[in-house]
Structure 1
Amino acid sequence: MAPHGEGSEEAMVVQDENRKPISSILIVIAMQTEAMPVVNKFQLKEDLDPVFPKGVPWVRYHGIYKDLHINLVWPGKDLTLGVDSVGTISASLVTYAAIQALQPDLIINAGTAGGFKVKGACISDVFLVSDVAFHDRRIPIPVFDLYGVGLRQCFSTPNLLKELNLKAGKLSTGDSLDMSPQDEASIVANDATVKDMEGAAVAYVADLLKVPAIFIKAVTDIVDGDKPTAEEFLQNLAAVTAALDQAVAQVVDFISGKCLSEL
């Protein structure tokens, strides 16, 4: 346990940070299709002198909107196969590198997700996530099991939730688009309304480096519905990305001119 004075000093620093106007936000997005509408919305420019290590495919766009410095990063295309570098490993790496290079005040992880109709999710619903956890890191050893789930609360934004009338729900993350019976049991245990392939990894890095993070997820497919997940995801991706873009724009507008404690 820290000495009383040291703990009090740390608490005061956190309070001061929460009262400072937000000036820099980092938007982390997994896919180019999801990223480009946001890039165009805020007229962001691609970084031609990258802050990332030489040779990595990660992409950064940046610009100023109102009083905010906006950086948007996505992991780019796989160098061998040319597809979006989705999943937890790419998300955690690019988030870590971006925090180190850009020192944001706040992270927004925005993206599409599968939703569960049993929890009230519908196609194009946009959720502001309250909690995140993993569903495919099963380690059946005491305490390691909790580490595997990696449950984390997202940064609390009650005013944002109320003002924009977004839905709230818990997010479960895994590295597969489909859902095995073991994953399903873990997702139920996580009480998740939506599932994705990046969120909990971004949350882990944000927590590690003590940067507040919020998560905005738009539903492309109903995991417990009648249609094959991959088919429904591709069918709805464009339309749902438009809903995601609108929600991100509203969130950024709400954040502008505020400090963390006002969210």
Structure 2
Amino acid sequence: MRIAIITAMEEEMAPFRNQAQITARTQVGKVIIEEAVYRGQPVILVESGIGKVNAAVATTLLIERHQPDLILNSGSAGAFGAGLSVGNVVVATQYIYGDVDATCFGYEPGQVPQMPARYDLDAALLDQARRVAAAAELPYSLDFGLVLTLDSFMSEPERVERVKSTFPAVKVSDMEGLGIVQAAAQYGIPVLAVKAVSDIAGHGGVTADSFDDNLDAVAVHAAHFTDLLVSSFIGEKATPSYTGFS
């Protein structure tokens, strides 16, 4: 199985680069694509840049040039769901755009015209992710559920409440995930997304500084569970150590 790992930012990619031997590197605009040996297997590491468009462009370049069998998206997210704390990890089971509104044409909230209202991630891969989570002793809480993708940092309480009222099942939001999922769906390539909570959406203390302060640590959490998934997909029996990512 040829696996690719996509992150938006350098900080989110750093844990993987620290564990990999990079053998080739190309850059197109913001997109950095690295061929690497990771856990003894060839993988592709992709740093996309922030936002939906960068994510979709990166995914398209990745697929056209390297034809992966599976894409893993690892990174940070803002928490909407009750009980989630900074450092918790959420694996996406479904993606919806949180800032798309074509309801006046009869589309559902979050539905891009002429596209699916929501994107359900591969059930068999999610079952494997659940088995991996159940078998591991994780130093963080992990959950599964709906993730929204939108082009806003969700710091304003009023905006957060509007989103929650429209999508009450939402766990977290990111700025890239559905750009990756939608682009990959055009090619029939499955995606799993692992998101670690970097901030609590709408919380009065959420600032750019607080996000930056949390990013390195939560990126390690997302990378650790992503690494567990990689090991399970390549058939490696040894359980990756969390300390290797600290």
Q: Which range, TM-score by smaller chain?
A: 0.7 to 0.9
Structure 2 partner of 1:252: 230
- Write out per-residue CA displacement over residues 36-80 of structure 1, whole angstroms, 9 at most, x where no aligned residue: 211112233441xx3x6xx523211222334632101112xxxxx
SS in 2 for 1:44: strand
| RMSD, aligned α-carbons | 2.2
The structure-2 alpha-carbon separation of the partners of 1:179 and 1:170, relative to structure 1 and needing over 3 Å to count, comes to same
Q: Which runs of 5+ in 2 are unaligned?
A: 135-141, 237-246
Could you tell me whether the CA contact under 8 Å between 2:155 and 2:203 is conserved in 1?
no
1:30 aligned onto 2:8: yes
Q: TM-score, normalised by structure 1?
A: 0.76
- Write out per-residue CA displacement over residues 111-146 of structure 1, whole angstroms, 9 at most, x where no aligned residue: 100112x43211111111111111111112234445
Structure 2 partner of 1:230: 208
Q: Distance in 2 between the 1:112 and 1:187 partners?
A: 19
Could you tell me whether the CA contact under 8 Å between 2:177 and 2:193 is conserved in 1?
yes
Q: Distance in 1 between the 2:63 and 2:106 partners?
A: 29
Aligned mate of 1:100, from 49, 64, 81: 64
Structure 1 partner of 2:54: 90
- Which amino acid counterpart does residue 139 of structure 1 have in structure 2? A
Give the total of aligned pairs. 221
The structure-2 alpha-carbon separation of the partners of 1:183 and 1:143, relative to structure 1 and needing over 3 Å to count, comes to farther
Aligned mate of 1:63, from 36, 41, 44: 36
- Residue 184 of structure 1: how far off its partner (Å): 4.0
Structure 1 partner of 2:87: 124
SS in 1 for 2:90: strand
The structure-2 alpha-carbon separation of the partners of 1:143 and 1:25, relative to structure 1 and needing over 3 Å to count, comes to farther
Structure 2 partner of 1:178: 154
Identity %: 25
Q: Which runs of 5+ in 1 are unaligned?
A: 1-22, 76-84, 259-263
- Residue 214 of structure 1: how far off its partner (Å): 0.5
Structure number having the greater strand percentage: 2
- Which amino acid counterpart does residue 191 of structure 2 have in structure 1? A
Could you tell me whether the CA contact under 8 Å between 1:128 and 1:161 is conserved in 2?
no
Structure 1 partner of 2:45: 72
The structure-2 alpha-carbon separation of the partners of 1:220 and 1:45, relative to structure 1 and needing over 3 Å to count, comes to farther
Q: Distance in 2 between the 1:114 and 1:125 partners?
A: 10
